[in-house]
Chain A
Amino acid sequence: RKEVEQDPGPFNVPEGATVAFNCTYSNSASQSFFWYRQDCRKEPKLLMSVYSSGNEDGRFTAQLNRASQYISLLIRDSKLSDSATYLCVVNPSPNFNKFYFGSGTKLNVKP
């Protein structure tokens, strides 16, 4: 079983739509969670960290569900510029920094 799993998509949505992605992780002891955005042929860029209480940054909201071992990313009022691949990242250990990446979920926002 993979450490981190994501639906590859693509999710095709119209501008202004709300879209949500989930990501499941296998290690219940996982400590840190992040969402990254990756544009085609570019490096991943940190979108947001995911805290136990959930967190919001403008149109983006991230949630953590430890009981079901998944994190989610909600994007409201989608923009054309939101089109990208969204990577879920998990650090399972409190002792050292080793990160596991999902394969990414592709989002296409259409006019």
Chain B
Amino acid sequence: DGGITQSPKYLFRKEGQNVTLSCEQNLNHDAMYWYRQDPGQGLRLIYYSQIVNDFQKGDIAEGYSVSREKKESFPLTVTSAQKNPTAFYLCASTPGGSNQPQHFGDGTRLSIL
């Protein structure tokens, strides 16, 4: 089955630690995205990538980093500079073209220990 796989489902971060969230897709989609969702809030864009080896900051990129070395993979690192990392993180992809909707992975919940 084609889809987007995020792992882990739950993640705990210690103070001063960097953690990496995995996002893999086998949909052959060009564009990939990372969002953050806080309780009762909408999705906010962290980073997005439209092609391999290229990515752009979203609205809340501070304290996060990404890479796009392969078309199917778009990992997100939450660095120690992100002081309030507790949230639900969602990865999405689109095939390209402005009229195509996004497909989402089932998310990673990150909490601080």
Contact = CB atoms under 8 A, between A and B. Distances in A.
Contacts of A98: 45, 48
Contact of A43 (B90, B96, B97, B98): B90
Contacts of A41: 88, 109
A94 B104 contact: no
B88 A91 contact: no
Interface in A3-46: 31-32, 34, 41-46
Residue from B35, B44, B48, B102 whose CB has the most chain A CB atoms within 10 Å: B102
B42 A104 contact: yes
Interface residues of A, number: 24
Q: Is the interface of A mostly helix, strand, loop or mixed?
A: loop
Interface in B93-110: 94, 96-107, 109
A79 B95 CA distance: 33
A97 B96 contact: yes
A97 B50 contact: yes
A103 B38 CA distance: 10
B84 interface: no
Contacts of A96: 50, 98
Contact of A45 (B31, B88, B96, B104): B104
A46 B102 CA distance: 8
A97 B49 CA distance: 9
A8 to B, nearest CB: 8
A87 B90 CA distance: 14
A101 B90 CA distance: 13
Given A42-B107, A91-B98, 15 more contacts: A31-B98, A32-B98, A32-B99, A43-B107, A45-B104, A89-B101, A97-B31, A97-B50, A97-B94, A97-B100, A99-B102, A102-B42, A103-B41, A103-B42, A104-B42
Interface of B: 31, 33, 35, 41-45, 48, 50, 88, 90, 94, 96-107, 109
